[in-house]
Amino acid sequence: MSRMKCSLLFCTLMCLYVPHTTCAQTTTSPSGLHLPPLAEQSQGMGVPVKSEEQVNQERLQKYRELRQQEIRRDSEKLYQLTGELKEYVDRNSSTVLSLDMLKKAEAIEKLAHSVRQKMKDFQ
C-alpha cells in the first residue's frame, strides 16, 4: 500500500473513532447511577435520576408487556386458523384434506409451538 493510501486510511479511521469516544459518553456517579453528561452537571436541579436496577426493572417490564402482546396476537391468529380448519372439515365429509388445508394445519402447528415457547420464556 502506498504511503498516501496508508495516511488516508489512518485519517479516516481517526475521524470515525474520535467523535464516538468523546460525544457519546455517559458517566457513573459514585452512587452507581448512570447519567448523561448534562444530567451529571445539573444534579440537584430537579432532574429525575434512576438507578441501574430501576432501569433494568423497567426494561424487563417493557419486555414482558411486548411478549404478552405477541402471545395474545399469536393466540388470536391460532384461534382463527383452527376455526377455519374446523369449518372446512365440518363442510367436507371426505377423509382427504385439500393442499390449502394441509398448509393451514402446518401453520397451526408452527404457531402453537411458537406460542408455547413464548409462554415458557415468559416465566
Q: How confident is the model at residue 95 (pLDDT cuts 50, 70, 90)?
A: confident
**Mean pLDDT across the chain:** 75
pLDDT at position 101 is 87
> For residue 67, is pLDDT > 80?
yes
* Grid cell at residue 56: 433494568
pLDDT at position 46 is 62
| Closest listed residue to residue 33, CA positions, set 46, 51, 45, 53 | 51
Beta partners for residue 27, in sequence order: 35
Angle among Cα 46, 34, 58 to the nearest 5 degrees reads: 85
